[in-house]
Structures are given as structure tokens and as C-alpha cells.
Amino acid sequence: MTLIQRPLRSVVVGLGSYLPSRILTNEELAAKVDTSDEWITQRTGIKERHIAAPGETTSMLGEKAARAALADAGLGPEDIDLVIVGTSTPDYTFPSTATQIQAALGMTHGAAFDLQAVCSGFVYALTTAEKFLRSGSHKRALVIGAETFSRILDWTDRTTCVLFGDGAGAIVLEARESEGSLAERGILTTHLRSDGRHRAKLHVDGGPSSTGTVGHLRMEGKEVFRFAVGMVTDVVTDAFAATGFTATDLSWFVPHQANRRIIDMSATKLGIAPEKVVATVHLHGNTSAASIPLALSVARDDGRIKRDDLVMLEAVGGGFTWGSALIRW
């Protein structure tokens, strides 16, 4: 008798996050650079952000988020065979932050690596892990977004230093057999895009091969805003086309938390009702690859996101990179 194996689907079984204890408010920033709480709030929606303590590295944030996600899943490090970290602020040029988290968790098995897609990093990492699990090569994955963007900011540049914060979030994915139904839990579809012609609009002006320095973040704010609202919604409409769902079918829209105006305008363009939008940018600022799992954690913990909800993730980052993931929670 020939046994027919059903297709595999990557199911979210754990979620966790971590934020540094130090909170930097708009009022504190206004005492350092020429800005104000009113200016920051009106243009970005940000009220405060968390800043890593001296000596508190990206891997330390990621490890704490990973441990929270594992506890939520009722699993231990021994149950994980893949660790993927989305980050643009690694502890070192090498080895990868993922291997540092792997070691901190006491793991000596499986594979661990970083993935760099800036603010799209978590969606890219989630998509990559989903492919590994769906292929049958791995059983469970830790997907982590972790950043210490405070370390690459020019704190004299009021146009960028007010935007970013530090933090980490993690998801545990498990490969499970599926009937292929869109009503079943798990990642239903993912879509990734990039266009490298736009480097100058959002980049760090340093690196090992160019300047031999870490560099600072530089951004053409108006151009980034225009691109984020005008171009990147295609990955969400692609997800709708792949599944047959529409904006009205969504339970929640969880976009990258860069700017409240970008979030609201993107949702309006896609026809997503305001009450379905999860926004945490006022609490965390832009935490790059960490922003989506941090937002997911807030919305799950306060009771909004529930089992079997249809959740759309969407992000855009420097490069430009952008992507979406549609999940039956």
C-alpha cells in the first residue's frame, strides 16, 4: 500500500516580544534637537520609543523575544530546528545574530542565519521559514525580528532620530499536514518584491566594503512616503488574487509600523476598514524588522487577534524591499 502524504502548512504556534526598559519620549527628544511633540505626532503618530541599554545587543533582545515565543508555544529550544533572524543591526558583521541567539538558547543542532531586508525583514524571514517547513526539510522554526536602530542613528538629525526605536518579536512556526483548505490555520500565501534602484532614498552611509565604518541612517522622507503609499500595496492585492479573499474578509491588517499616515493611507487605498488596522507606532516608533511581530504581540495579548482570524501582514523597507503574508491565525 502506498501512503499519500498530505501537503504541509506552516502554522503559528507561539508568539513573543521584548522591549528595552528605557522609554524615550517626544518631549525628551525636543530638549536635544529642534523638534516638538506636536511636530513628531502630527507627521508620524509616534509618541515614544524604547532604547536599548548600553551593552544590550540585538541578539539579547532577540533571545528574550524567542524565549517568550517558545514559552507561549509550550516548547523548548530542543524542539526547534531552524532559526531565522530578520535584522539590519546585527551584533557583528559576522557571525550572524541568529547563531548568537541559537547559542544563547543552548541549541547545538539545526540551522541558524540572518536575513537582511530592512523593515521588510520579518516578512522576508517568515516567507523563507515557510518554504523550509513546507518542503519537509525542517519541522519547527523560530522567526525573529530584532533591531537596535538607536545604534545607527545620527542623533543630531531631527528628521530621522525621532522615528526609530529598538525591540524584538518572535514567532514559532510548526509544519503540519493540511487538507489545503483556506479555512485551515497557517500561512496561506506570501508575496515578496524588491527594486534596488532606490538605494539613495533610504540607506546607511557606511559598511565594511565601502567605508569600513558602521555609518548612519539617511532618508529622503518624502520619497519614502510616496513609494510606501503609492507602490507597495501590490503585494497585498497579489495575496487577495492568490486566495480569492478581499479586504472585507480580513480580520486584521498588521502593517509595518513606520508612520501612522502611511498606515492609514495604505489601508484606505486597499479598502480595509480602519477598525481592522493594528497600529502600535505611537508606542514603539519604527522598529524596522521587529515592528510587525511587536504589533502582533500587542494585538494578540489584548484580545483582538484570535484563533482562526484572517491576518494580513505587509511591510516596506530600504532597498526598496516589500512583501506580504496572509495568515489564518
Q: Give me the catalytic one of 50, 119, 191, 284.
A: 119
Is 286 catalytic? The answer is yes
Q: How many CB atoms lie within 10 A of CB 193?
A: 17
The yes-or-no answer on residue 256 being catalytic is yes
Backbone angles phi, psi at 64, to 5 degrees: -65, -40
Query: Of these residues, 191, 198, 216, 286, which one is catalytic?
Result: 286
Is residue 86 within 8 A of residue 117, CB to CB? The reply is yes
Question: Cα torsion at 286, 291, 294, 296 (round to 10°)?
Answer: 130
Q: Are 239 and 326 in contact (CB under 8 A)?
A: yes
d(CA 161, CA 44): 12
d(CA 310, CA 183): 9
Catalytic annotation on 109?
no
Q: What length does the chain have?
A: 329
User: Which three-class secondary structure state does DSSP give residue 192?
Assistant: strand
**Exactly one of 191, 256, 259, 284 is catalytic; which is it?**
256
Using an 8 Å Cβ cutoff, are 148 and 89 in contact? yes
Residues annotated as catalytic (active site), given as ranges: 119, 256, 286
